Amino acid sequence: MAGRVNRRWLIAKRFDGQVSEANFRWVETLVPSPDEGQFLVRNRWFSFDPTQVYMLGRGYPGEPEGAENPVGDVMGTIAVSEVVESRHPDFAPGDVVHGHTAWEDYTVTDGKGFTPTYRLPEGVPLNWALGALGLTGLVAYFGVHEVARPKPGETFVISGAAGGVGSIASQLAKIAGLRVIGIAGTPAKCDWLLREAGIDAAVNYRTEDVGKRLSELCPDGIDVFFDNDGGPTLDRALDRLRPGGRVVLSGATSRYPAREQPPGPANYLALVMVNGRMEGLLGRDFVPRRSEAWDALLPLLRSGRLKSKEDVLYGLREAPQGLARLYSGENVGKQLLQMDDPPATGRAASPSAIRPEGLARR
């Protein structure tokens, strides 16, 4: 790989409430070489997830102070990649892997990070590996089947229903025999939920009174609320929770960008009055159990009963736009990026000039 150019997006400034290309800086350097215990991958597909804004700010919740990504560091991501050079005993050139890398053509990693790197089995489409079979798929599958504990005939309401997790979870709930109401933010998303995902009803939170619509659609109350948004809709759902109702806390897209976190749900005591339960889940905790989810999801995907809805950008230059689309509401389904081919040769800065350690330190 000597002399090859490595295009990269570095963090240029801290998150200020809005994601844009101004948060990043494009550079070109030389492809690094792995040290002992590391391997070099060529990135093929990127995942975009709302929690990536933490890389631009204060770090992930629960991490020690100072754990945030410094300005000047390469922007991290979850990716599907191909091993091109290895000094790691568990990985060999030609392996196709899923793991924590960065917004760049080539990444040196030790296989650790937010999620450990693992080899993909043959025959799994790379886009599925980041969507329906990736972390979003694991959150959807275990959130529905293990945290929500659904019973056929129950009423299941989900916010962010046309996003990465929501588009899978809403379909899994319907397949499990539940009556599913999805909450989304555009007519196109609501239309996809009704026509393609096959759920029972959709609410546009931008143009409709969510509380009023939930009362109309759920006159007997809500058995499961699957929350991907973390905003005021949670209060509306708690107001309508049935005895024994469950709330699944999957994400909080509306809260991640906030400089100061707003107060939590105002009427959480509604859980007491109905003997309800509220429980969160984190996708990386289920990575060791991914084979359980894959055994259930792969037949559904291959048969077409479960549709992997993806919103795909092409080319590394589009990476900042991919993250921004999660917060503008433009994406329908899982936001992905397919990499273009890097230049074979070219002028590049010295790697030492722009913090080449990248993901190797994480």
Identify the weakest region by mean pLDDT among 220-224, 232-236, 254-258, 267-271. 254-258
pLDDT value of residue 63: 53
17 vs 360, higher pLDDT? 17
At the top level of CATH, which class does the domain 135-303 belong to? alpha beta
Which residues on adjacent β-strands are paired with residue 313?
337
Residue 128's pLDDT is what? 96
What's the confidence (pLDDT) of residue 59?
Answer: 53
pLDDT number for residue 337 = 98
Cα distances (angstroms) measured from residue 38 to each of 79, 100, 107, 210, 276: 17, 13, 10, 50, 47
- Three-class SS state of 204: strand
Q: What is the pLDDT of residues 14-28, one digit of tens each?
A: 877 788 899 999 999
Above 90 in pLDDT, residue 322? yes
- Kindly list the domain boundaries of the chain, sorted by start residue: 5-131+309-361, 135-303
Amino acid in position 148: A
Name which of 89-93, 125-129, 261-265, 311-315 the model is least confident about: 261-265
Query: What mean pLDDT value characterizes the chain?
Result: 89
Q: Tally the C-alpha atoms within 13 A of residue 316's C-alpha that lie toward its C-beta.
A: 25
| Residue whose C-alpha is closest to residue 333's, from 229, 225, 189 | 189
Dihedrals phi, psi of 129, to nearest 5 degrees: -65, -25
Stretch 126-152: mean pLDDT: 96
CATH assignment of 5-131+309-361, given 3.20.20.70, 3.90.180.10, 3.40.605.10, 3.40.50.9100?
Answer: 3.90.180.10
Residue 4 vs residue 147, higher pLDDT:
147
Can 5-131+309-361 and 135-303 be said to share one CATH topology?
A: no
The whole-angstrom separation of Cα 201 and Cα 91 is: 46
Say how many C-beta atoms besides its own lie within 10 A of residue 282's C-beta: 13
Dihedrals phi, psi of 193, to nearest 5 degrees: -60, -40
Label residue 86 by pLDDT band (50, 70, 90). Answer: very high
